[in-house]
Amino acid sequence: MKRVFRSTVLLLAVGGIATLVVTVATAGTARKHATIQACGLMPDTKTSVRWEQFDKPFLIKAFKAAKITARVVNAQGDPQKQKSQADQCIADGAKVLIIAPIDSGSAAAIEKAALKKGVKSIDYDRQVEGGVAVLYASFNGKTVGEIQGKGVVAGLKAKGTYSKKPVIASLWGGEEDANSFLFKSGVDKILNPLYAKGTLKKGPQQFVPGWDNQRAGTIFEQMLVKTGNKIDGVAAANDGLANAVVVALKRQKLKPIPLSGQDATVQGVQNIISGWQTMTVFKDVRTLATKTAEAAIKIIKGQKPPTTGTVKTKGRGPEPAYLIAPVSITKANWKVLTTGGFLKRSEICSGEFKKFC
Q: Which amino acid is at 113?
A: A
pLDDT band at residue 33 under the 50/70/90 scheme: low
- The yes-or-no verdict on residue 231 having pLDDT over 80 is yes
Structure confidence at residue 48 (pLDDT)? 81
Phi, psi dihedrals of residue 98, rounded to the nearest 5°: -105, 105
pLDDT for 178 equals 86
Q: Please say if the pLDDT value at position 10 is more than 50.
A: no
C-alpha to C-alpha distance for 8 and 278, rounded to whole angstroms: 82
Q: Enter the pTM of the model.
A: 0.79
Q: What is the mean pLDDT of residues 111-140?
A: 97
pLDDT band for 167, please (50, 70, 90 cuts). Answer: very high
94-107 confidence digits (pLDDT tens): 999 999 999 999 99
Alpha helices (H) along the chain: 2-33, 50, 56-65, 79-91, 104-116, 141-159, 178-197, 213-227, 239-251, 266-273, 285-300, 336-339, 345-348
Domains and their CATH numbers in the chain: 33-133+285-325 (3.40.50.2300), 141-283+329-356 (3.40.50.2300)
Query: For the chain, what is the largest distance between any 2 Cα atoms, rounded to a whole number of angstroms?
Result: 106
What is the pLDDT at residue 34?
Answer: 55
Mean residue pLDDT of the chain comes to 91
DSSP conformational letter for 259: B
pLDDT of 25: 33
Lowest mean pLDDT: which of 24-28, 127-131, 139-143, 261-265? 24-28
14-18, 61-65, 223-227, 254-258: which has the minimum mean pLDDT? 14-18
